Amino acid sequence: MSLSTSRRLALLTSASLALLAGCGSSSGSADAKSAPARVAVVASTNVYGDIARRIGGDRVEVTSVISDPDQDPHSYEADPQNQLALSKAKVVIENGGGYDDFVDHMLKSGHDDSAQVINAVGVSGRTAPKGGELNEHVWYDFPTVAKVADRIATALAEADPGDAAAFGKNAAAFKAKLAPLEAEEARIKKAHGGDGVAITEPVPLYMIEASGLVNRTPAAFSEAIEEGDDVSPRVLQESLALFSAKKVKALVYNEQTSGPQTEKAEAAAKAAGIPVVPVTETLPTGKDYFGWMTANLDALASALAK
């Protein structure tokens, strides 16, 4: 084969490869352009982040500001990375009720004005009882969670009208999975309605009330613990007496924000042979919303049965 022929073949081969590469590149660009961008969602905690993912599916990009079980939402301070994510969000989900004020602070610092902000407490319609304080932990209230699911579906549909039907269908499926949880509350109520329990904080109160149980903890105790204040010696002794006098059948304990005084309550319950039911404010590692709440109800039912 002559040198000139070899060169001609080499040039032809290079040109063919370049043409094929160009075609592949063009196809890739077309595919990238044809795929619509996912809806950016920012949730204050991984509880609402998990709900948003279940309703949005692969059409959403969710950022949960708090996802570490060791973080206390009451005292959390957002960082620049959180602020950047929120500035791009089309849907923002906060609990409200003073629980996650860091979201409101970030919103004031700048976000997409077209973003829809979902406030779970506002959606719930819950208000403070006369002479009392609002229990803002509404993700333990299944009727409220159903309302929030519908509101998320509506917000996502406004951000991405083409997938509105899918969002609606996913929300319906999500709400259907709440039914077994409410049925378990009803079973507990039938078996143990009127039984007394103690708490360290108001976190699980909606679940406790829906299960027909009576919270016998002095309000001054649980409110002080929630606010990070010291409990007076008198109130502490009154609270500990619930266990020694066997006035409650379980202690529902927020293990996410424990301290010396809650640890005394836990020790007193164990010393009296009263079961301790641990709960958290955010999703434990490896759990989704339904797995988490199922485990909470199973633990509560088991404790009461003892």
Is the domain of 157 the same as that of 80? yes
Is the domain of 258 the same as that of 170? no
pLDDT in tens, 112-153: 678 999 999 999 999 988 888 899 999 999 999 999 999 999
Q: What would the mean pLDDT of 206-225 be, rounded to a whole number? A: 96
Which range, of 32-36, 281-285, 298-302, averages the lowest pLDDT? 32-36
As a whole number, the mean pLDDT across the chain is 88
Residue 100 inside a domain? The answer is: yes
Residue 95 inside a domain? The answer is: yes
Last residue of a domain, one of 143, 176, 209: 176
Q: Is 50 exceeded by the pLDDT of residue 20?
A: no
Q: What is the model's pLDDT at position 109?
A: 78
Is the domain of 68 the same as that of 149? yes
Residue 8 inside a domain? The answer is: no
Residue 34 inside a domain? The answer is: no
Is the domain of 155 the same as that of 65? yes
Residue 24 inside a domain? The answer is: no
Is the domain of 50 the same as that of 145? yes
Work out how many domains the chain is built from and give that number. 2
Q: What is the model's pLDDT at position 134?
A: 94
pTM of the model: 0.86
Share of the chain above pLDDT 70, in %: 87
Q: What would the mean pLDDT of 90-111 be, rounded to a whole number? A: 90
- pLDDT tier at 246, thresholds 50, 70, 90: very high
Residue 243 inside a domain? The answer is: yes
Is the domain of 235 the same as that of 285? yes
Residue 234 inside a domain? The answer is: yes
Is the domain of 61 the same as that of 96? yes
- pLDDT tier at 13, thresholds 50, 70, 90: very low
Q: What is the model's pLDDT at position 111?
A: 65
Burial of 228: CB neighbours in 10 Å, binned 0-12, 13-18, 19+: exposed
| CATH number of the structural domain spanning residue 90 | 3.40.50.1980
Comparing C-alpha atoms, which of 209, 279, 217 is closest to residue 248?
217
Domain that holds residue 217: 188-305
Is the domain of 164 the same as that of 91? yes
Is the domain of 53 the same as that of 129? yes
Is the domain of 151 the same as that of 274? no
Q: What is the model's pLDDT at position 35?
A: 57
Is the domain of 260 the same as that of 300? yes
The residue type found at 94 is E
Strand ranges (E), 89-181:
91-94, 116-119
Is the domain of 219 the same as that of 253? yes
Which range, of 22-31, 85-94, 103-112, 114-123, averages the lowest pLDDT? 22-31
CA-CA distance, 228 to 251, in Å (whole number)? Answer: 19
Residue 4 inside a domain? The answer is: no
Beta bridge partners of 215: 197
